Chain A
């Protein structure tokens, strides 16, 4: 973290009319680090993601990315260009796969821009230039690599919509990784997964961080995932940043316990109350 950080967010504010969804949030996310973003429902976590990935234009703020592909000011770029040029990949809270297309096709579509160049913007591909065939073979190999990583190789020719829920979550991560990102933004990847699947997810995310050498930004409700794998955690509440630090620091931060973990502990305590009655 001594050199320029991968992602620097400064004074990010997003207003929807009178509603301030994100209010003056600043944080940094380091390269080869997993940065967790937590907070109660409606805290503005997904809004931060949407600003980062170009789905919203922030009202105020600077989002500076300094990755392997160069330096970019994300707040000034069009949505699709952030993914195409700057290398920001994301997944969605409610899974957004191309459900009617096969698993493999989902991963090939993720490599669209590279293939588009190889096909000579369709003209070369139409007449069957060898360059395109080679590029397509490479794309298949990369897809196969990621399918092996997420354990979906045997289901590569299924319709993506027919995968079991956990498989769809993993496929979405594989699809995001096929764009060769410098930072991967995951919006609640463990939602709806059982304990074993979350443990596998932790493993996968750690290995992506270590082997692909990219930064990961992670929104998550599942504390076992966030606390277990994050190198660094940011806590949002009502659109403001209330804490920033390592998992141990966050766990002991009184503001966080009041805003977030306290409620979660109460939830956990519910069955005990029931027994006592």
Chain B
């Protein structure tokens, strides 16, 4: 019915090739139908009688028709006819609102919602919403005719917006991150998720030095994370060192492992380097699993001591002669204190990583990293030592991973090789690449999406990872250079003058 409305509404002009657009829209719908019917149309469920196959063709058909309509409307919008897009999008939103209302009231009409999972319905409703907003914006600014922006133009537009509010956005994010535990909606679960996200932000920032600045594709970054975690775990259980003493040792240990990996791979570039680092990451995990008398093997190491607040432990009952954090500050004991403390700890680590990176980008070594990424041959011709430059990038990136690793060990109180599989490296790399290589705030956004999203999409069960994949594909299509693929020069000659 919406399709009919839309085609009626657009009959007022012949400047647009409706048949062509309609053909392409039907094509898009058919492609969706074919792909979706295989991917999500069939579901195998185990019942008492064995495996059975459930079909979900209603959802697939709704999705295909929806894609065709939205495609048609958005193409019209790009061709300079934003009105049908606004009208069609509004109709869809109204229909969604009615169905959603019926669902909430428990009416039978509510079963007509296209998808079984509410999250998906809400996510799908975002599409007509964006259509309406865009169409309204185009009508408002009256400059739609023939404007089809390419991906790079879109990125430039976004970057310009971001640049204008660069400092403000960063400050706001930091203030928000610090205030998060004190918000009324904060609970233990939220802070746990936030701690996880910030850990990955720190890892992403660390890897950003290696991949984003120096351009060395490292697929085994998790190895350094593991080295840091195990270093602290062993120093804590075998030697009895406290977290704060073990932290620099763990960082130095990981950095020297970074050098160890760096030496043999100096001559490799691109794909070859990626394969070797991938192997290195797996080697570390295999060694941790098999060297059982040293690392505890697959059982890992437990009873790792928790970090203290300048010597004040977070415990309900202090050991004799030791004052706890709660006693010292005259507070009631609450397990949240430790959770909050760990959150602030990793936040501080991550911010140190960030400021370090921002600063080192403006130093000769940081510029040499970026130059190395751009053209290694030219670097050699300018007398830059490629070996030392690469090794420092590896070592410094590894050092931050090692510090994040010791935090991880201290937070869990337990480490085992299972935490350091290749998937972790892939996720960290995905955060860096999707965030936009070399940008700091992009990593934050990507970590929030990639780590936070699966936590909040638990309703989707098995399809959680599919949603994760769809998110990555969408970023690839819309922002091929990453969410924020903008690079600011580190130094200006004509600062303050009009931009050309």
Which residues in A have their C-beta under 8 angstroms from that of B365? 116, 119, 122
> A residues within 8 A CB of B370?
98, 100-101, 105, 109
Q: Do A101 and B374 contact each other (CB < 8 Å), given the known contacts A81-B383, A89-B381, A116-B365?
A: yes
Bound: A238/B34 CA distance, A: 61
Interface residue stretch chosen among A18-26, A150-158, A188-196, A225-233: A150-158
Contact with A along B280-298 (1 / 0, CB 8 A): 0000000000000000000
Interface membership of B492, Cβ < 8 A: yes
A245 CB within 8 Å of chain B:
no
Report if A80-B383 is in contact (Cβ < 8 Å); known contacts: A92-B378, A97-B378, A98-B375: yes
CB distance from A268 to the nearest CB of B (A): 34
Among the stretches A29-37, A139-147, A201-209, A257-265, the one at the interface with B is A139-147
- Using Cβ atoms and an 8 Å threshold, which residues of chain A touch B360? 122, 126
Cβ-based interface call for B1 (8 A): no
- Within the assembled complex, what's the spacing in Å between the Cα atoms of A84 and B364? 15
B493–A100 touching, CB < 8 Å = no
In contact, A154 and B384 (Cβ under 8 angstroms): no
Q: What is the 8 Å Cβ interface bit string for chain B, positions 355-375, against chain A (1 contact, 0 not)?
A: 010011001110110110111
Taking a contact as CB atoms under 8 Å apart, the answer to whether B493 and A126 are in contact is no
Is B165 interfacial (CB 8 A cutoff)? no
- Flag if B383 contacts A113 (CB, 8 Å): yes
CA of A235 to CA of B386, assembled, Å: 34
Question: Do B384 and A55 touch (CB < 8 A)?
Answer: no
Chain B residue with minimal CB distance to A82? B383
A167 to chain B, nearest CB (A): 13
Contacts of B492 in A (CB 8 A): 102, 104, 156-157
Measured between alpha carbons, how far is A261 from B386 in the docked complex, in Å? 41
- Give which listed residue, B377, B382, B490, contacts A112 with CB less than 8 A: B382
Residue in A101, A140, A143, A147 whose beta carbon sits within 8 Å of that of B371 in the complex: A101
- The answer to whether A105 and B489 touch across the interface, beta carbons within 8 angstroms, is yes
Number of interface residues of B (CB under 8 A): 33
Residues in chain A near residue B385, CB distance under 8 A = 80, 84
Chain A positions within 8 Å of B494 at CB level: 153-154, 156-157
Task: Give the complex CA separation of A25 and B378 in angstroms.
Answer: 26
Q: A104-B493, A116-B365, A144-B493 are in contact. Are A80 and B380 (CB under 8 A)?
A: yes
- Does A219 touch B at the CB level, under 8 Å? no
Q: Which residues of B contact A80 (CB under 8 A)?
A: 379-380, 383-386
A73 at interface (Cβ–Cβ under 8 A)? no
Q: Determine how close the nearest CB of chain B comes to the CB of A124; give it in whole angstroms.
A: 9
Tell me the minimal C-beta distance from B122 to chain A in angstroms.
39
Q: A54 on the interface (CB 8 Å rule)?
A: yes
Is there a chain A Cβ closer than 8 Å to B500's Cβ? yes
| CA distance in complex: A29, B314 (Å) | 75
Residues of A within 8 A of B487 (CB): 100-101
Is A125 in contact with chain B by the CB < 8 A criterion?
yes
Partner of A140 from the list B368, B378, B382, B493 (CB cut-off 8 Å) is B493
A101 touches B489 (CB 8 A): yes
Question: Does A179 sit within 8 A of B, measured CB to CB?
Answer: yes
Contact A98 B371 (CB under 8 A): yes
A214 contacts the other chain (CB 8 A):
no
CB contact under 8 A between A108 and B491, given known A125-B364, A126-B363: yes
Q: How many residues on chain A are close to B (CB under 8 Å)?
A: 48
Nearest-neighbour CB distance to chain A for B491, whole angstroms, equals 6
1/0 contact string of A112-123 vs chain B (CB within 8 Å): 110110010010
Q: Contact mask A159-176 → B, CB, 8 Å, 1/0?
A: 000000000000000011
CB proximity of B494 to chain A, nearest CB, Å: 6
Whether A83 contacts B383 by the Cβ 8 Å rule is yes
* With A104-B491, A105-B490, A157-B489 as contacts: A112 and B384 at CB distance below 8 Å: yes
Q: Which residues of the partner chain A approach B379 to less than 8 Å between Cβ atoms?
A: 80, 109
Q: Any chain B CB within 8 A of the CB of A110?
A: yes
A79 contacts partner chain B, Cβ-Cβ < 8 Å: yes
Interface of A is mostly: helix
A99 within 8 A of B: yes
Q: In chain A, what residue has the closest Cβ to B488?
A: A102
Annotate A71-97 by CB proximity to B: 1 below 8 A, 0 otherwise: 000000001111111000110100011
For A119, the chain B residues whose CB sits under 8 A away are: 363-365
Among the listed B363, B384, B386, B500, which residue makes an inter-chain contact with A122, where contact means beta carbons less than 8 Å apart? B363
Mark each residue of chain B from 433 to 461: 1 if its CB lies under 8 Å from any CB of chain A, else 0: 00000000000000000000000000000
Q: Using Cβ atoms and an 8 Å threshold, which residues of chain B touch A82?
A: 383
* B373 proximity list for chain A (CB < 8 A): 100
- In Å, the complex CA distance between A99 and B374 comes to 7
Q: Does A46 contact B (CB under 8 A)?
A: no
Q: Which of A122, A126, A140 sits near B491, CB closer than 8 Å? A: A140
Whole-angstrom distance from the CB of A233 to the nearest CB of chain B? 24
Cβ-based interface call for A13 (8 A): no
Contact A84–B383 (Cβ < 8 Å): yes
Q: How far is the CA of A99 from the CA of B371 in the complex (A)?
A: 9
Q: Which of A37-88 contact B (CB under 8 A)?
A: 53-55, 79-85
* Chain A residues in 8 Å Cβ range of B374: 97-101
Q: Across the two chains, which residue of chain B brings its CB closest to A160?
A: B374
Q: What residues on B are CB-neighbors of A115 within 8 Å?
A: 364
Other-chain contact of B382, A55, A99, A110, A156 (Cβ < 8 Å): A110
**CA–CA, A35 and B172, complex, Å:** 60
Contacts of B383 in A (CB 8 A): 80-85, 112-113, 179
| A153 lies within 8 A of B493 (CB) | yes
Specify the chain A residue showing the minimal Cβ separation from B381. A90
> Do A154 and B489 touch across chains, with their CB atoms under 8 A apart?
no
CB distance from B395 to the nearest CB of A (A): 12
Contacting A at CB under 8 A, from B380-397, are 380-386, 392
Beyond A80-B384, A100-B370, 13 additional contacts (C-beta under 8 Å) are: A55-B380, A80-B379, A80-B380, A84-B383, A100-B487, A101-B371, A101-B489, A112-B371, A136-B491, A140-B491, A153-B494, A154-B500, A157-B495
* Complex A-B: 5 CB contacts under 8 Å: A89-B381, A104-B493, A105-B489, A122-B365, A176-B381
Q: Show the binding face of A for B, using Cβ within 8 Å.
A: 53-55, 79-85, 89-90, 92, 96-102, 104-105, 108-110, 112-113, 115-116, 119, 122, 125-126, 132, 136, 140, 143-144, 147, 153-158, 175-176, 179
The 8 closest A-B pairs by CB, nearest first: A84-B383, A83-B383, A156-B493, A102-B489, A98-B374, A115-B364, A96-B378, A125-B363
